[in-house]
């Protein structure tokens, strides 16, 4: 039996941020991080897919600017250049959308706070707002919504989207690339931490004074408290047993919050110089943006929500076919695309993630569900992870913020 003060389950941003916060605390805290995978970072995953191309981000790619992202030192230091989104292209029914009525214009501008804010009652789903829109405007808005929230408009709470807009404390409001890659952030957070990799947690036993964690390899770890940063998709799949079971309130939160699907596609292309910042379309992989241009070209494709549902059903070769067709429809000059130049990551199929990121389903009170998800159980089981943050959920910032919050709770228990 291995003993320490705090066990952190999961070495994604939330777990690493929690552990490094505890490591920097004034009093000496013995922290052990247990990570299921052989690599660190969770949904941060920097990888070089082809030897003649720079590394790409298979998971999170941008730092969305906001006050907390500037207040968290590692994130603030890791902020690189602002993303130049450049000229957008909208491609529907096999044609480039140039003009269109006011709704199409509004959908193309993507300013949702405007169109959702003017909707008289913000109950219901984002899809309800779009019902009265023309098919073209609806398609454009849906592709845009899915690209950000990873959920189909009909599934997504209008109130939650509006609230997040309203409460998000802006920095300059831009998106940033991390300085270098996100791997740099992972490395800096993980510095000098005691992390055990390839150690999936199977069981968490919690009692009045301590927590015991049993791993798949038969390891036993005991601590005064534990910070659980399992992704919502993993909690929903009940792959980790809690003994005694979690409170009803927590189980309802786990059940009722949504996890959006995301399939991210990478395509090695020669000399991408289309001058396009991003493209939205009704293709099987509807959203595309260049990560590297010129001779180092890498295009990134994104299918989420409903589009990801359809893609996730297919075998890998089908997904690659549809990705190649999508590239061909939007950027015909890049044809032919070879299968060895396509790489697919389906985040729902990742055993230790089981989805892209959390969203608030229509008809749910996201605030109280997230408060319940974040709440400690029995004063020794603490919870962090993107889905537990009330405003910055679904982001790297939210995950880091939740890790700091849980670390502060742990310090209070240990005091």
Ligand X SMILES: Cc1cc2nc3c(=O)[nH]c(=O)nc-3n(C[C@H](O)[C@H](O)[C@H](O)COP(=O)(O)OP(=O)(O)OC[C@H]3O[C@@H](n4cnc5c(N)ncnc54)[C@H](O)[C@@H]3O)c2cc1C
Is 356 a residue that touches ligand X (CB under 6 A)? yes
Of 312, 298, 234, the closest CA to residue 269 belongs to 298
Asked if residue 37 binds ligand X (CB under 6 A), the reply is: yes
Site for ligand X in 237-256 (CB under 6 A): 240
**Is residue 148 within the footprint of ligand X (CB under 6 A)?**
no
How, if at all, do strands 381-383 and 220-228 pair? parallel
Q: Which of 21, 176, 357, 359 binds ligand X (CB under 6 A)?
A: 357
Q: CB of 94: closest distance to ligand X in angstroms?
A: 28
Is 5 an interacting residue with respect to ligand X (CB under 6 A)? no
For ligand X, the binding residue among 6, 7, 10, 366 (CB under 6 A) is 10
Chain positions 259 to 298 lying near ligand X, rule: CB under 6 A, are: 262, 264
- Check if the beta carbon of residue 294 is closer than 8 Å to that of residue 336: no
**Does residue 352 bind ligand X (CB under 6 A)?**
yes
Number of CB atoms found within 10 A of residue 363's CB: 12
168 binds ligand X (CB under 6 A): no
> Which of 5, 7, 8, 15 touches ligand X (CB under 6 A)?
15
Query: Does residue 169 contact residue 393 with C-beta atoms inside 8 Å?
Result: no
Kindly state whether residue 235 participates in binding ligand X, applying the rule CB under 6 A. no
Rounded to a whole number of angstroms, the minimum distance from the CB of residue 59 to ligand X is: 5
| Rounded alpha-carbon distances, angstroms, from residue 313 to 73, 129, 237, 275, 284 | 41, 29, 18, 33, 12
Candidate residues 18, 235, 399, 411; the one interacting with ligand X per rule CB under 6 A: 399
Considering beta carbons, is residue 104 or 254 the nearer one to ligand X?
A: 254
CB of 245 to ligand X, least distance (A): 17
Nearer to ligand X, 133 or 288 (CB): 288
Indicate if the alpha-carbon torsion angle 122, 128, 133, 135 is positive or negative: positive
Please identify, using beta-carbon distances, which residue of 206 and 357 lies nearer to ligand X: 357
SS3 304: strand
Closest separation in Å from C-beta 16 to ligand X:
7
* Residue ranges with strand state E in 28-174: 31-34, 46-47, 56-57, 63-64, 79-82, 87-92, 95-96
Q: Candidates 153-161, 326-334, 375-383, 394-402 — which segment interacts with ligand X by CB under 6 A?
A: 394-402
Which pairs count as long-range contacts for 90-94, CB under 8 Å and 24+ apart, including other chains?
90/140, 90/279, 90/280, 90/281, 91/279, 91/280, 91/281, 91/282, 91/283, 91/329, 91/330, 92/136, 92/139, 92/140, 92/281, 92/282, 93/136, 93/282, 94/329
* ∠ CA 305-137-90, rounded to 5°: 75
CB 46 to ligand X: min, Å: 12
The footprint of ligand X on residues 43-72 (CB under 6 A) is 43-44, 59-62, 64
Q: Which residue is nearest to ligand X (CB)?
A: 12
User: Is 353 an interacting residue with respect to ligand X (CB under 6 A)?
Assistant: yes
CA separation for the pair 4, 256 (Å, rounded)? 34
Which is closer to ligand X, CB of 64 or CB of 320? 64
Per the CB < 8 A criterion, the answer to whether 358 and 305 are in contact is: no
Which CB atom, from 287 or from 362, has the smaller least distance to ligand X? Answer: 287
CB 108 within 8 A of CB 140: yes
Residue 14 engages ligand X in binding (rule: CB under 6 A): yes
* CA dist., res. 43 & res. 36, Å (int): 13
Examine residue 21 and tell whether it contacts ligand X (CB under 6 A).
no
Q: How many residues bind ligand X (CB under 6 A)?
A: 40
Q: Which of 6, 7, 8, 9 binds ligand X (CB under 6 A)?
A: 9
Rounded to an integer, what distance in angstroms lies between the CA atom of residue 70 and that of residue 173? 12
Q: Are 349 and 312 in contact (CB under 8 A)?
A: yes
C-alpha–C-alpha distance, residues 120 and 129, integer Å? 10
Kindly write down the DSSP assignment for every residue of 228-243, as one continuous string: E---HHHHHTT-SEEE
- Which of 148/256 has CB closer to ligand X? 148
Among positions 171-230, residues that touch ligand X (CB under 6 A) are 200-201, 229-230
Binding site for ligand X (CB under 6 A): 9-15, 34-37, 42-44, 59-62, 64, 200-201, 229-231, 234, 240, 262, 264, 347, 352-353, 356-357, 385-386, 394-397, 399
């Amino acid at each position: 039996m291995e003993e320490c003060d705090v066990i952190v389950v999961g070495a994604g941003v939330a777990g690493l941020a929690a552990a490094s916060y505890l490591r920097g605390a004034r009093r000496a805290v013995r922290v052990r991080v247990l990570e299921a995978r052989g690599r660190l970072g969770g949904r941060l995953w920097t990888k070089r897919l082809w030897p003649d191309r720079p590394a790409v981000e298979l998971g999170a790619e941008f730092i969305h600017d906001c006050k907390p992202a500037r207040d968290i030192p590692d994130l603030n230091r890791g902020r690189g250049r602002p993303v130049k989104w450049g000229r957008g292209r909208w491609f529907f029914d096999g044609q480039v959308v140039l003009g269109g009525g006011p709704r199409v214009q509004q959908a193309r501008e993507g300013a949702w706070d405007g169109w959702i804010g003017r909707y008289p009652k913000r109950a219901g789903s984002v899809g309800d707002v779009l019902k009265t829109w023309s098919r073209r405007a609806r398609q454009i808005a849906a592709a845009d919504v899915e690209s950000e929230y990873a959920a189909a408009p009909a599934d997504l709470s209008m109130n939650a989207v509006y609230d997040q807009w309203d409460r998000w404390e802006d920095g300059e409001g831009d998106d940033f690339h991390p300085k270098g890659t996100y791997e740099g952030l992972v490395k800096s957070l993980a510095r000098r931490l005691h992390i055990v990799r390839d150690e999936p947690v199977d069981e968490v036993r919690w009692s009045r004074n301590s927590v015991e964690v049993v791993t798949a390899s038969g390891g036993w770890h005991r601590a005064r408290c534990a910070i659980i940063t399992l992704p919502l998709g993993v909690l929903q799949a009940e792959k980790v047993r809690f003994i005694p079971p979690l409170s009803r309130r927590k189980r309802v939160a786990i059940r009722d919050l949504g996890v959006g699907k995301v399939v991210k596609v990478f395509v090695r292309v020669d000399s991408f110089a289309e001058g396009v910042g991003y493209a939205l379309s009704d293709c099987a992989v509807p959203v595309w943006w260049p990560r590297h241009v010129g001779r180092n070209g890498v295009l990134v494709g994104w299918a989420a929500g409903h589009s990801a549902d359809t893609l996730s059903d297919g075998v890998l070769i089908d997904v690659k076919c549809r990705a190649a067709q999508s590239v061909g429809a939007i950027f015909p000059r890049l044809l032919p695309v070879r299968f060895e130049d396509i790489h697919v990551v389906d985040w729902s199929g990742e055993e230790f993630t089981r989805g892209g990121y959390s969203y608030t389903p229509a008809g749910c009170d996201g605030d109280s569900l997230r408060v319940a998800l974040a709440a400690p159980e029995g004063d020794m089981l603490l919870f962090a992870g993107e889905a537990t943050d009330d405003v910055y959920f679904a982001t790297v910032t939210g995950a880091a913020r939740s890790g700091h919050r849980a670390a502060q709770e742990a310090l209070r228990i240990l005091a």
